[in-house]
Copies of this chain bind each other. A is one copy, B any other.
Amino acid sequence: MIFGVGLIGGSLARGLRERAGATGEIIGVGRSVKSVERALELGVIDSAVLIDDDNALKQALHDADFVLIAAPVAQTEPLLRRIVPFIDARTIVTDAGSTKSDAVIAARAALGARASQFVPGHPIAGRESSGVDAALPDLYVDKNVVLCPLPENAPESVERVAEMWRATGASVHQMSAEQHDGVFASVSHLPHVLSFALVEQILEAPDAALKFSFAAGGFRDFTRIAASSPEMWRDVCIANRSALLTEIDAYTKVLARFREAIEASDAAALEAAFERSRTARSQWQQGGGLKAADDSAQ
């Protein structure tokens, strides 16, 4: 069962069905008829349930192997509260949220002792477009999925979630929720905030239209992520507030140091910093980064 059949949930469904040949029934749960109708139409799910329909939800959850929560992260706790009266003891629940400490807190609050059935997860994949129409069967191929197991998770439950993701072509890693949130605050959440902030700054300029009209490739790449879902990123910023504020503060300091070097026309300092960045970025691009993941993130 997939709660939230959009890009992430829809791509998992398509990946399991079209790549891995899974034959089990895939049930999509949505907030409105409209939200699940398109998923049915596209054949991404086999049947649909509305979140408000007690009976249908109870019936669908009975005997479910897996429940995936793939919704903006602020909905994790309400969704878990919604399903807890109905879930079987053998059902494994997981999620796909970009923040994990909040998911752990939500699971403990909503599920109580049944939190042992909840394995927090995060597939590191996305597209600018959202919604089920953007879902792809190969979205997770060669992508990383991070699981942040709870001490009370049964090892078999964690392994079954890992197997599910591997079946879509992903590579699965484990770390603590806290470590996860620090890493992604830095390499994902902060860049999104910085990108949104640049577009906001230009919009506020009196000559915004002229500026946009001469924006070119550098601007295009830098702001691609500013076209991401506002609802999703609003929730991520708030859910990972503490780690994100730490990163914003560290970034502001680096930027202030660059500002000083520019003001002082310190050519050597600027060139050295830019050279360091170029070298690191190029090594990352050439896959040095992924090798480090294999070494250190298990």
Residue in B closest to A244 when the chains form the complex, CB atoms = B262
A290 at the interface (CB under 8 A from B): yes
**With an 8 A cutoff between CB atoms, is A241 at the interface?**
yes
Taken together as a complex, chains A and B put the C-alpha atoms of A223 and B282 apart, in Å, by: 10
A60 touches B (CB below 8 Å): no
Q: Does A197 contact B (CB under 8 A)?
A: yes
In the assembled complex, the Cα of A152 lies from the Cα of B216 at a distance in Å of: 30
> Which of B125, B224, B297 is close to A221, meaning CB atoms less than 8 Å apart?
B224
Given A197-B254, A198-B190, verify A238-B226 contact (CB < 8 Å): no
Number of copies: 2
Q: Which residues of B contact A143 (CB under 8 A)?
A: 216
Provided the pairs A124-B214, A187-B211 are in contact, do residues A197 and B255 lie with their beta carbons within 8 angstroms?
Answer: yes
Q: Which of A5-13, A80-88, A201-209 contacts B (4 or more CB under 8 A)?
A: A201-209
Does the CB pair B241–A210 fall under 8 Å?
no
User: How many residues on chain A are close to B (CB under 8 Å)?
Assistant: 99
Q: Is A203 a contact partner of B277 (Cβ separation < 8 A)?
A: yes
- Asked if residues A201 and B282 are in contact (CB atoms below 8 Å), the reply is no
User: Which listed residue (B186, B212, B218, B280) contacts A191, Cβ 8 A?
Assistant: B218
Residues from chain B with a CB closer than 8 A to the CB of A187 are: 202, 211-212, 214-216, 218-219
A245 touches B259 (CB 8 A): yes
Binds B, one of A26-34, A46-54, A265-273: A265-273
A262: contacting residue among B184, B225, B245, B282, CB under 8 A: B245
Q: How far is the CA of A205 from the CA of B52 in the complex (A)?
A: 46
CB distance from A109 to the nearest CB of B (A): 17
Find chain B residues with CB under 8 A from A210 CB. 179, 183, 292-293, 296-297
In whole angstroms, how far apart are the Cα atoms of A31 and B218 in the complex? 28
Stretch of A16-24, A62-70, A153-161, A228-236 on the interface side: A228-236
Whether a CB of chain B sits under 8 angstroms from the CB of A275 is yes
Decide: B276 and A203 in contact? CB cutoff 8 A: yes
Nearest to A126 among chain B residues (CB) is B217
Bound CA–CA A218/B222 (angstroms): 9
* A102-129 interface with B by 8 A CB criterion: 124-126
Nearest 3 A/B pairs, CB to CB: A213-B293, A230-B274, A199-B277
